[in-house]
Amino acid sequence: MKPVRALILSVLALLLLAQPIAAQRNRTLTQQIRTLQVQNLSRDWGLPIVRLDSNDQLLVSFDYMDEEYHRFVYKIVHLTADFEPTADLFESDFVANTAETEPIDDYEESMNTITHYVHYQFAFPNINVRPRLSGNYRIDILLDEDDEPTPVAQVYFAVLDSQVGAGIGVTTDTDIDWNRNHQQVELHLTTPSLEVVDPQSELYVVVLQNKRWDNAAINPPATHIGNHEYRWFHSRPLIFEAGNEYRRFEMLSTRYPGIGLERMQWFAPFYHATVFADETRPNYLYEQDINGRFVVRTEDNTDAASESEYAWVHFTLDCDEIKGSDVYVDGDFSDNRFLPANRLEYNASRGAYEGAVFLKTGYYNYHYLTVRHGETEGHTYATEGNHYQTENEYDALIYYKRRGSRYWQLVGHAHSDFKLTQ
C-alpha cells in the first residue's frame, strides 16, 4: 500500500473509532472497509427487512481498500427490540446454517482505478444460511486469516413475521403548530391474533423518519387502547421536525464535474470533487430527492461495483457559526451516524463550515444537521429549515414478546411516503 494512502486511511480509522456507535446502524471496525451497503433485492428501496420463510433477499456489499484478495466470512446474531444480543437463544434456535461461519466468495478486484480495492458482496438469506425466527439481526463480517477471525464490519437487518394490522399516516396539523415546521405521525395497530396481557411490556414500537435512528421515536405510549386495538393520535413523541428536501450531487466521472459539483481535480494521490458552496435554507425548496440514499455509478467504465473511482468530496456551508453545536454532512453514505469523518469545521476567515468525505463515484443525497453539544440527535432548523411541505418517508416497526417468550418478534411494519395534497 502506498505510504500516503496508508497514512490517510489510518487517520480515518482513528476518526471512525473515536465516536460512540449507535448499535442499530451499520458500522465499520477498520479503516480499510468503505462503501458498506445493505440493499433490498426484492424491492428498490426501503429498510433492510425480509419476510420470514419468503424468497426476499438482501445484498450486502463493501470495498476492502487493498490490492489483494483477503478471506472474509460472516455469521448472524439475533437481537432484541433495542438491538442487544438475545441472551436466551441458542444459535440453532434462530438460524439454519451449514457451518459456524459462511465465506464471502463473490469478489472482484478493482480495475481502471487509481484507488485500489477489492469489492465483496453476498446475497442473504441463502441456501447455506437462513433465519428461523423473526426479529432484529446483526451480520458480523470477519477477516479470516489468523487463528482468531477479526471483526471488521457489522450490518443490521430485520425479519418480519406479519401478525398485526398496522396503518400509518402523516399530518401537518400538530400540537406544536399547523402547516409550519413539523409533521405528526399517526399510527393505528390491531392485534386480533396476539395475546397481549400487558401492552407496556409486551409491545415495542419504533417510528423512523427517512430511516434515521438519531431522531427515532422509541416506544411511545399509545394514546388509546381498546379491544385488540391501539392508536397513536396527537402523540407528542411522534411529532418530527419537517426538515427540507435533501440536497444532491452527481459524481459519475473523474473527467468532468457532474450535477452539483463545481470542479473535479487531481491532487496526487487522490481525485478531489468540490460541491458548489451551499447556504442555509430559510425557505422550502423542492428537490426530486431519494431521501438521503446514494447509488454507486460510473460513466468512465462499465462495472460500477469494481470500476468506480474514489474521491475526496469537499463540502462547504456558508453561514454564521452555530454556537453550542457541531455541524455534520449527513446521508446514507454516513449511515446517519455523527462521526468525526463527516463533521465540518468552521472556517472563521471564510465564514463557512468546511469538510471532506472519501466517497465512491455515484449519485448522492445529503443534508446538513446540527447536533447540540452533549446530545445525539441531529436537527435541521439551523441549516435546512423546517417546512411542512417536505416529502419525508416514515416507517413504523412493531415488536412483540409474549409472556414467557425468549425473544422479541417483529410482527408488523407500516410505511408512509408523505406528500402534501392540496
Of 160, 187, 212, the residue at which a domain comes to its end is 160
Please tell me whether residue 5 adopts helix, strand or coil conformation: helix
Domain coverage including residue 340: 247-379
11 and 50 fall within a common domain: yes
- Cell 481498500, residue located: 65
First to last CA, the chain: 58
366 and 337 fall within a common domain: yes
**pLDDT reported for residue 16:** 37
**pLDDT reported for residue 23:** 53
394 and 353 fall within a common domain: no
Cell of 84: 442487544
- Distances from the Cα of 177 to the Cα of 171, 236, 238, 378, 381, angstroms: 11, 12, 14, 20, 15
- CB of 336 closer than 8 Å to CB of 26: no
**pLDDT reported for residue 421:** 64
Give the residue from 44, 22, 9 showing the smallest Cα distance to 334: 22
83 and 191 fall within a common domain: no
Note down pLDDT in tens along the chain; length 422 residues: 444 334 333 433 333 333 333 457 899 999 899 999 999 997 767 899 999 999 999 999 999 999 999 999 999 999 999 999 999 999 999 999 988 999 999 999 999 999 999 999 999 999 999 999 999 999 999 999 978 899 999 999 999 999 999 999 999 999 999 999 999 999 999 999 999 999 999 999 999 999 999 999 999 999 999 999 999 999 999 999 999 999 999 999 999 999 999 999 999 999 999 999 999 999 999 989 999 999 999 998 889 999 999 999 999 999 999 999 999 999 999 998 999 999 999 999 999 999 999 999 999 999 999 999 999 999 999 999 999 999 999 999 999 999 999 999 999 999 999 987 64
**pLDDT reported for residue 186:** 97
In a domain? residue 395: yes
In a domain? residue 176: yes
Of 115, 141, 160, the residue at which a domain comes to its end is 160
Of 160, 175, 199, the residue at which a domain comes to its end is 160
In a domain? residue 312: yes
238 and 252 fall within a common domain: no
In a domain? residue 385: no
233 and 252 fall within a common domain: no
238 and 253 fall within a common domain: no
CA 275 to chain centre: 22
- CB of 203 closer than 8 Å to CB of 195: no
**pLDDT reported for residue 46:** 87
In a domain? residue 384: no
In a domain? residue 422: no
User: Is residue 319 exposed (0-12), middle (13-18) or buried (19+ Cβ within 10 Å)?
Assistant: middle
CA–CA distance, 168 with 62 (Å, rounded to integer)? 33
Domain count, the chain: 3
**pLDDT reported for residue 339:** 92
**pLDDT reported for residue 20:** 36
195 and 338 fall within a common domain: no
**pLDDT reported for residue 42:** 78
351 and 373 fall within a common domain: yes
375 and 317 fall within a common domain: yes
Length of the chain: 422
**pLDDT reported for residue 195:** 92
CA–CA distance, 111 with 303 (Å, rounded to integer)? 9
224 and 80 fall within a common domain: no
146 and 169 fall within a common domain: no
- CATH code at 191? 2.60.40
- CATH code at 77? 2.70.50
